């Protein structure tokens, strides 16, 4: 049976959307890995599958290109919202993920925003290997850690262009302090409401952007007293905006673009 899909990206952070509403769930670990192969499949940073949900417009599940699952993806959530809002003609929609029910909106500039849930700061929630103050970790550069449903470790640097991210990132990702590994952020503060972000993504990549990493980076900068909300996050592929009042849910907003559709 053919498997329809839509290829999308959010400022270069590319993902594939599969609409499985009204049909059996089509993805296994092996199939996700095959679809994620950029030479033999479609290729993506993440895969999102929409399935039926009695509480919201759709249940979202996420997969990495290596076949592993993940609980959140800001870019792919906005892509799913763009599809659902296009169907309904409404300005807002709710979806459900492992993070709970998430409220999404189409903004006046046609970008899509999504509530990403509350960040977690306890060492067990990230998780870390031992009890530590997550505001300043005992690693060179004293990074800050948080969880947005996946782990984030943020380094604040003065000269981002001087860093060899491909060499440094894997060492931090696999540090024993992070038993489930971590996404690694390298952040240069431009002003109180703007940061430049480059990313080493957990499971090995330097993406053009990442919704959850943008959230984690902005949240950690606000915690460190370096930033004020809302924060414009300048990734390699383009900007997103992250809003967080210091206590509640994080909101991510940015553009989403359809590239092509097809079936396998």
CB 195 within 8 A of CB 168: no
Is the pLDDT at 252 greater than 90? The verdict is yes
CATH 3.10.310.10 fits 4-116+254-263, yes or no: yes
Mean pLDDT calculated for residue range 78-87: 97
Mean residue pLDDT of the chain comes to: 96
Mean pLDDT calculated for residue range 122-129: 98
Report d(CA 220, CA 226) in Å as an integer: 9
pLDDT in tens, 188-242: 999 999 999 999 999 878 999 999 999 999 999 999 999 999 999 999 999 999 9
Q: What is the CATH number of domain 144-248?
A: 3.10.310.10
Tell me, yes or no, if the pTM score tops 0.85: yes
pLDDT at position 58 is 98
Closest CA to 144 of 258, 224, 260: 224
Residue 251 token pair: 């909101």
* Secondary structure of residue 29 in the 3-state scheme: helix
Domain boundaries, the chain: 4-116+254-263, 144-248
144-248 matches 4-116+254-263 in CATH topology = yes
pLDDT at position 1 is 74
């Amino acid at each position: 049976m053919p498997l329809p899909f839509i290829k999308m990206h959010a400022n270069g952070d590319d993902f594939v959307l599969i609409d499985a509403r009204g049909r059996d769930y089509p993805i296994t670990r092996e199939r996700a890995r095959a679809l994620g192969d950029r030479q033999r499949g479609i290729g993506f940073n993440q895969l999102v599958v929409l399935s039926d949900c009695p509480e919201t417009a759709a249940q979202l599940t996420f997969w990495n290109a290596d076949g592993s699952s993940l609980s959140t993806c800001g870019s792919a959530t906005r892509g799913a919202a763009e599809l659902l809002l296009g169907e309904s003609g409404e300005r807002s929609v709710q979806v459900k993920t492992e993070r709970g029910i998430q409220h999404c909106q189409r903004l006046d500039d046609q970008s899509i925003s999504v509530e990403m849930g509350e960040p977690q700061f306890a060492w067990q929630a990230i998780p870390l290997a031992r009890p530590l103050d997550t505001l300043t970790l005992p690693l060179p550069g004293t990074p800050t850690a948080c969880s947005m449903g996946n782990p984030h470790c943020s380094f604040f640097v003065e000269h981002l262009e001087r860093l060899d991210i491909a060499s440094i990132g894997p060492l931090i990702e696999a540090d024993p302090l992070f038993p489930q590994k971590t996404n690694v952020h390298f952040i240069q503060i431009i002003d109180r409401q703007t940061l430049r972000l480059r990313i080493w993504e957990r499971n090995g990549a330097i993406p053009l952007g990442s919704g959850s990493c943008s959230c984690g980076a902005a949240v950690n900068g606000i915690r460190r007293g370096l930033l004020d909300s809302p924060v414009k996050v300048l990734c390699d592929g383009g900007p997103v905006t992250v809003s967080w009042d210091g206590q509640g849910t994080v909101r991510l907003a940015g553009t989403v673009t359809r590239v092509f559709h097809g079936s396998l």
